[in-house]
Structure 1
Amino acid sequence: MPPVLRATGLTKVFGARGEEALRLAGEGVARDEILRRTGSTLAVHDVGFSVERGELFVVMGLSGSGKSTLVRLLNRLIEPSAGTVEVDGQDLRALGDADLRTLRNDKVSMVFQHFALLPHRTVRENAAYALKIRGVPAAEQRERADWALRTVGLLDRADARPDQLSGGMQQRVGLARALAADSDVLLMDEPFSALDPLIRRDMQDLLVQLQTELHKTIVFITHDLNEAMRLGDRILMLKDGRTVQLGTGPEIISAPANAYVADFTSDVDRTRVLTAGDLLREPRMTARLGQSTGEVLRALGAAEANGVYVLDADRRIAGVARDDLLARARQEGRTAVGPRELVADYATTAPDRPLVEFVHLVGRHPVPLGVVDDDGRLLGVVPRAAVLDALAAVPARQEG
């Protein structure tokens, strides 16, 4: 399917001498020099990316990097100086005012940093506001608003006013309003940055849970790298309005594009970013039920290993065949690997489990930690050396 949202060559200049600033930017002149020469600010320059349906796409950068300008370009709250934005293949530049309002009401919702709640309306009325603007019948407004409030854990406060809620609760109302609208794309502009650390963590947990259940398409803006790494399927890093790297969290911390990214990621807690899937390796060997005990024992000797996963016909783990049990089987005349040669001396994990949650299981068995899918099929293994390498790795600094 085509991406839900696509930005191409997106550029924004603030100031009277925009054309000159664009020309200088095209020549590679730095933002500060453009400002000095023209008095114009190059807020965003030549940024391009696409967001797939159901993806949580993070745009991250420090203050002044252009991320808040970028998110407002995505629904034409700010007019671009150059470039295009498409939502479901529709070029936003081609839309008149009425169509643009319809797009913002129906297809692209926004969750703001400072909640943007209507103080004179109840929590339920705030959650239903986008539906009211669309002219949705009152009964449906209430039904969908109550569903959204229940989803974010606030249905019991539906009749309260915003000023009766804590900051975290107010942000939940903002999120409920976006969920009730059921837009194709949610734009979230640093929605948790005004919250204290504990509430912020709770909101991150809630967003992760909702994304698992609802699979919304989200563009999430943040200046917090750990938040970006925790939430994002992919991360676009900005500096001075330009893209410096686009990739998954593990890709960015393991292969930073330049010294700026390497510095930025140097303090990231890798144990919370890297998952079993990121450290996955093909097993050096596996065996199958019914295979010759002598053949498996010789293979273990050649691999200098003490044990091997034995798989059934569907690649589910039947158990582990250890070298000592295989040797005993041969002595006792058993020529095929069967249940008597197998032990449950292994551990497994899911591919999306973060390293911090399974590191204690690594290196405790005669076989590496197994990574299995929902049906118990072996996808690969996480060797102890792969974990140590990932934790010890310090990205090489590059020029630029």
Structure 2
Amino acid sequence: MTKPLIEISGLYKVFGEKPHKVMPRVKQGESKDKVLAETGHTVGLKEINLSIKQGEIFVIMGLSGSGKSTLIRHFNRLIDPTEGQILVEGTDIMKLDQKELEEFRRHKMSMVFQRFGLLPHRTVVDNVAYGLEVQGIEKTQRLAKAYEWLETVGLKGYEKQYPSQLSGGQQQRVGLARALCTDAEILLMDEAFSALDPLIRSEMQDQLIELQEKLHKTIVFITHDLDEALRLGDRIAILKDGELVQQGTPDEILLHPADDYVEAFVKDVNRARALTVETVMNPQAYRISANTIQEAISQMKGIKQDYAYHVTEEGYQGVLTKEGLNDAAKATTEEAISEEIYEEVPSVSPDAAIEEVLVDTMSYDYSLPVVDEDGNLQGELERSAVAEIFSEPSDEEPADSPKLDKVS
């Protein structure tokens, strides 16, 4: 099993004059409000344990005050923990001296800020090249690289402009290009798109997904927006009052909320839009591998249902039924299975959103074959499985419903 790129264990952060004196109360389970009222100390994070894999987008989300921004600032030690361990590629970053920490920040991690963080007196290209300048890269080389990244993020022709001459979306593209320009393996993105208008925000999300498919960076992304988390995250961690209440894939969070708090987040989500076929399909499907009608009839006898998927060495071919095969055997002397024998049943991609295939799922008597781009049968999409994602896990309304942005 591949070792995680980032490992955080037993992480606590208490803000105040004497945090270590307060730690016993925090570990005994006293509430954040009680600790604040009786000691004047604020519990920022409490016993955080998580691991982040190389090349994934790991989203940390929660309400304001949940500790998500405090947590991300521990990754590059902008904030030091009160207690706990932070490993990056096996290196304990708490043991780095000042010089080592500066090198770590310059080469290992880049950060994209909510409010862009651009230098107003520098041109766009000089802003993008800034990280390389700090690294000591020669001017011609760093500018050439900055021009490449500006083209990558769709800002070719804006190199000599100043930040004030750009729209918010363009400024954030500059911020993203600057972070990518350093070739840092890890990107930290703290509410990076939340200051943008909805349409521009959606475009930036699309661009990040597109870039990630090419670059395979490890991205830690902070957001309060559930839609954004579900769209971007390979895995999601949800914080509440400094504590980690659940982490998992988007479909695990949606289909199996850990408690009422998480359930309140996902309660109004359009699951048909957020979930893909792959997350709800049945991987097992009855298959027939015969080349002739008679062989197919023989194989069909061993199948409980009255239809199966015809799969040959060339991949998925179509849906065969007992009735169709028997009719074909009576009507023709041909032995080979021809296209006319197959039922008219559409195949669906495992990557398709349930919303895209909903009508087909409900329109046919057979489970839809799930076929990947190479023509391989991956499973079947049953009508009952699709119907199940719309069922409510509980009829009770959680008492404390957090107000987050939802998928509409």
TM-score, normalization by structure 2: 0.92
Q: What count of residue pairs does the alignment treat as equivalent?
A: 396
Q: Which residue of 2 aligns with 1:313?
A: 313
| Pairwise CA distance, 1:202 | 1.2
Q: What is the CA–CA distance in structure 2 between the aligned matches of 1:343 and 1:8, rounded to whole Å?
A: 55
Deviations 1:227-250 (A, max 9, x none): 111110000000000000011111
Q: Which residue of 2 aligns with 1:373?
A: 372
| Pairwise CA distance, 1:95 | 0.5
Q: Which residue of 1 aligns with 2:255?
A: 254
| Pairwise CA distance, 1:296 | 4.7
Q: Which residue of 1 aligns with 2:328?
A: 329
Q: Which residue of 1 aligns with 2:219?
A: 218
Q: What is the CA–CA distance in structure 2 between the aligned matches of 1:33 and 1:335, rounded to whole Å?
A: 82
Q: Which residue of 2 aligns with 1:50?
A: 51
Bigger CA drift: 131-140 or 76-85? 131-140
Is it true that 1:342 corresponds to 2:341 in the alignment? yes
Residues 239 and 245 of structure 2 are in contact (CA less than 8 Å); yes or no, is this contact kept in structure 1? yes
- Compute the RMSD of aligned alpha carbons: 2.1
Is it true that 1:295 corresponds to 2:291 in the alignment? no
Is it true that 1:359 corresponds to 2:373 in the alignment? no
| Pairwise CA distance, 1:365 | 3.9
Gaps of 5+ in 2: 401-408
Deviations 1:97-145 (A, max 9, x none): 1111111110011100000000011111111110111011222212221
Q: Which residue of 1 aligns with 2:38?
A: 37
**What is the correspondence of 1:1-400 to structure 2 with a 5 Å cutoff?**
1-290=2-291, 292-298=295-301, 302-303=304-305, 305=306, 307-313=307-313, 316-332=315-331, 338-339=337-338, 342-343=341-342, 345-395=344-394
Bigger CA drift: 11-20 or 161-170? 11-20
Aligned partner letter, 1:73: H
Bigger CA drift: 160-169 or 196-205? 196-205
Residues 345 and 366 of structure 1 are in contact (CA less than 8 Å); yes or no, is this contact kept in structure 2? no
Gaps of 5+ in 1: none
Q: Equivalent residue of 2:279, what SS?
A: coil
Residues 321 and 343 of structure 2 are in contact (CA less than 8 Å); yes or no, is this contact kept in structure 1? no
Q: What is the CA–CA distance in structure 2 between the aligned matches of 1:396 and 1:80, rounded to whole Å?
A: 40
Residues 59 and 223 of structure 2 are in contact (CA less than 8 Å); yes or no, is this contact kept in structure 1? yes
Residues 230 and 272 of structure 1 are in contact (CA less than 8 Å); yes or no, is this contact kept in structure 2? no
Q: Which residue of 1 aligns with 2:405?
A: none
Q: Equivalent residue of 1:98, what SS?
A: helix
Q: What is the CA–CA distance in structure 1 between the aligned matches of 2:157 and 2:96, rounded to whole Å?
A: 40
Q: 1:369 to 1:393 in 2, by over 3 A?
A: farther
Deviations 1:185-205 (A, max 9, x none): 000000011111111111111
TM-score, normalization by structure 1: 0.93
Aligned partner letter, 2:81: P
Residues 169 and 200 of structure 2 are in contact (CA less than 8 Å); yes or no, is this contact kept in structure 1? yes
Residues 288 and 296 of structure 2 are in contact (CA less than 8 Å); yes or no, is this contact kept in structure 1? no
Bigger CA drift: 323-332 or 89-98? 323-332
Residues 309 and 320 of structure 1 are in contact (CA less than 8 Å); yes or no, is this contact kept in structure 2? yes
| Pairwise CA distance, 1:252 | 0.9
Residues 345 and 365 of structure 1 are in contact (CA less than 8 Å); yes or no, is this contact kept in structure 2? no
